Structure 1
């Protein structure tokens, strides 16, 4: 309801825009950043919006998070590209918050700063063996196969083991399992990074375990992703029938959640309609429920490398539908493997001068307004500073969730304009993009404008056409910058 209350005030904001064009800087060019830019440009006809991003390429999660075999999800890039064509918009690629320019400097340069740089770190389990070779975060692996420059040299060893364990059963976990198990002939026509495709062609992995703390009723994936992986040709699916037994609380949970009910039905059908054993050479997908990782096992043959996961059996406690929690039973079992992928959640990182809740991994905020102070009841609003996206609400939701999130933040900005919270004298307007360009030039920061991204885009498309792919991504900063400046 807070979104709708705030949005109702948007129409009153037009008459109270400051006498000079409002200068807005958004940090992060993913969905949250572009949706915020789009809404600001539409709502305020005089506003100038700049987006900065540490990479030379825009679109963040859409480019580097969406699975390569989900091209339809990436169509939102067309919408963002139209935003970039607005003459009141500027993209500053290859500009890093913290090193290229500080948060305090941005706040001096702009009337409004919106932080939308997402989550570029990982939650940790904090259990023994987590630092063993062969244990990766889902983010690292997704960045690797999606061609993120930071993931280019991950080089996961797919040849030394036939078994991978994925901890987590959400959409990202399902995406990873699908990439590992799907025929590479089908991946070859996507925009998957060429180095990842080459490695997957030589992969020895034939068996993937998807491990969840709770049961099939609480599985975190959505029906679309589940249908896709269950539909992979010649894939053996295994679910223990005992895990499919529902409690009365489970039954109540399914009554109130249509998506969870469909997920359960799909899992039940997969468990009861397939063969009892895999055929020779058949790839396998095992759904493991009611298990949580206790420790990672080190190989006796290869010191420093993972050889398996020790799991503790769990039971669900709680009588309220949707709020059952997994509790360990003290019973343990091992799954042998040579690779583990932790799909347990992304984590945002802070920068100097930014209030941050390290426990929740978000910036304390009220409808997008950044709050400072340790006492929630006495929190102080940081004038002109806002958040949107994962940094605001945590790493949850789909791309479209950022649209509603940005609407709430823009509504807060508009209300603050209306009430005079954001205003500066016409005699001393903030420097905005001109000031930022001067500062970056003084520091010899090579700015990549949107026109240079278009060169990268054109070259990737050209290279992809040679391989019957939509694009062949440039995956190192050197390659990207070389094309950008040529």
Structure 2
């Protein structure tokens, strides 16, 4: 029986590396890699060995005959990917290779090369893939630096709490936190506690993996009104980010929420807003968010998309899952005849086809929502103005704008990278200018992840991104192009601890992990996150701090 990859695929290609018959595509050296929504197992080539399932860091791969009712569609999803991709003949008695060719993960650094010391700024997926690459393929010493007193980045603060399988990739990264060639400095802000120049002076190379912490704006009147919130802040709020206050979101008198956007983040926040709080109580959602959702008046979430369903920016797996939420009705607003025409005309591999099971309804936006919980897609609409208690949106098909009554507006139109102190910055793209990961005009300085390529691609896309950057770094090392550090590792330790108020190392991070899991055990949850810097620091030092 063949295997199939399901919704939680992280696209990092760990499964590709272990497959003995090259039946998982796209591979990292193929043009489609990073452009498809997930990876796919070819049922015609799979030999049912299970190596991919064993290697998968997010438990996304299962035998087809073991798929649950909610996953069975993924057998067809995997098979459909290969319908128009005929295999090419393989060598006699060899495995079947599709037209793209075999996978390749090249690394080059002479085995007798002197150890280099590399600082990685940021402990999210991009930074940790870069660190993993360096630790597994070279004898480099790695200094992990993060401005927060806890590691994880996007995995800890960006993945929705009801996606626990996706969070498991954090366990893969955590094994490198205690690697003998790793030194960890959490709670150290490059640009505030130490400068970029000081960091570079103590290392052969510095890799910045600081992500995209900002959010894109709508650029419409009323965007700054009370009740208009970025999805970036909302996601951080329900994930217990210490820089977002527990009382930042009030849902007690909000019946309808308008979410501007139709990407995966928009779907995440919509799902969390209407999910059963008792189901979320079994996750690591922030305590304050769980309490707010239990007291929430929200019954309807409207997903506002400028384009039609055929161009929805969410992935098919996330859209598929949205239609299976228990007790939640999925609706498509029938305000524009082109919307349902696109749904009906969609082919079996088109995302729009997944909306055929939704309710088709002409919604009266002047009325409050009914008693049932609903998620409503309104395609071919754009916000024109945020009003007091409503949003004015385009009507569609030449109609006049309409006012959608709503107690809250969440803009989920994308993240944006912020300037990095001491580095060049491209205002138009929100990224650091670079060539193949090399920061322009800064020898020995590199970027990886969203600050390098912009806020695109999921967790796994950072693996190939990191491979390119690390490859450039290693090539520069071999060519003698890295500036020689003037400070030692011990000198950097003194500098960081002397400048930063609270430095958390690997031992302190392990103490935080134990404290959160202990709190979780006490309440029947996987963990209860510590949501403030003082709480995190106190836990790192082995002290239990009373909740605020």
TM-score range, shorter chain: 0.7 to 0.9
Aligned partner of 2:436 in structure 1 is: 367
CA distance in 1, matches of 2:294, 2:403: 28
Aligned partner of 2:425 in structure 1 is: 356
Q: Give 1:223 shift.
A: 2.3
Structure 2 counterpart of 1:114, from 196, 199, 207: 207
Structure 2 counterpart of 1:465, from 497, 521, 524: 521
Structure 2 counterpart of 1:171, from 257, 264, 270: 264
Q: Is the 8 A contact 1:111 1:430 kept in 2?
A: no
Residue-by-residue CA offset, 1:39-66 (whole Å, 9 max, x unaligned): 0112212x11011001111011001110
Q: Within 5 A, what are the aligned runs for 1:60-139? A: 60-139=153-232
Aligned partner of 2:50 in structure 1 is: none
Q: Is the 8 A contact 1:23 1:430 kept in 2?
A: no
Structure 2 counterpart of 1:442, from 479, 493, 498: 498
CA distance in 2, matches of 1:330, 1:92: 57
CA distance in 2, matches of 1:202, 1:9: 50
Q: Give 1:87 shift.
A: 0.4
Aligned partner of 1:269 in structure 2 is: 357
Q: Is the 8 A contact 2:193 2:499 kept in 1?
A: yes
- Alignment pair present for 1:390 and 2:450: yes
Structure 1 counterpart of 2:402, from 333, 358, 374: 333
- Alignment pair present for 1:477 and 2:533: yes
Change (3 A) 1:167 1:44: same
CA distance in 2, matches of 1:117, 1:154: 26
CA distance in 2, matches of 1:85, 1:331: 60
Q: Is the 8 A contact 2:178 2:506 kept in 1?
A: no
**Which region of structure 1 is more displaced relative to structure 2, 472-481 or 222-231?**
222-231
Residue-by-residue CA offset, 1:257-279 (whole Å, 9 max, x unaligned): 94xx0x2111122135x999999
Contiguous gaps of at least 5 residues in structure 2: 1-25, 31-102, 543-548
CA distance in 2, matches of 1:279, 1:291: 19
1 or 2 for the larger relative contact order (CA 8 Å, sep ≥6)? 1
Q: Give 1:313 shift.
A: 4.1
Q: Give 1:245 shift.
A: 4.2
Q: Give 1:331 shift.
A: 3.8
Q: Give 1:11 shift.
A: 4.5
Aligned partner of 1:325 in structure 2 is: none
Q: Give 1:340 shift.
A: 0.6
Residue-by-residue CA offset, 1:120-145 (whole Å, 9 max, x unaligned): 11111121111111111001000100
Q: Give 1:312 shift.
A: 2.2
Q: TM-score, normalised by structure 1?
A: 0.85
Q: Secondary structure at the match of 1:383?
A: coil
Aligned partner of 1:162 in structure 2 is: 255
**Which region of structure 1 is more displaced relative to structure 2, 29-38 or 414-423?**
414-423
Q: Give 1:473 shift.
A: 0.6
Q: Is the 8 A contact 1:57 1:93 kept in 2?
A: yes
Contiguous gaps of at least 5 residues in structure 1: 299-306, 316-328, 372-380
Aligned partner of 2:392 in structure 1 is: 310
The alignment of Structure 1 onto Structure 2 pairs a total of residues equal to 439
Q: Secondary structure at the match of 2:243?
A: helix
Structure 1 counterpart of 2:481, from 421, 437, 441: 421
Q: Is the 8 A contact 2:416 2:455 kept in 1?
A: yes
Q: Give 1:94 shift.
A: 0.5
More helix by share: 1
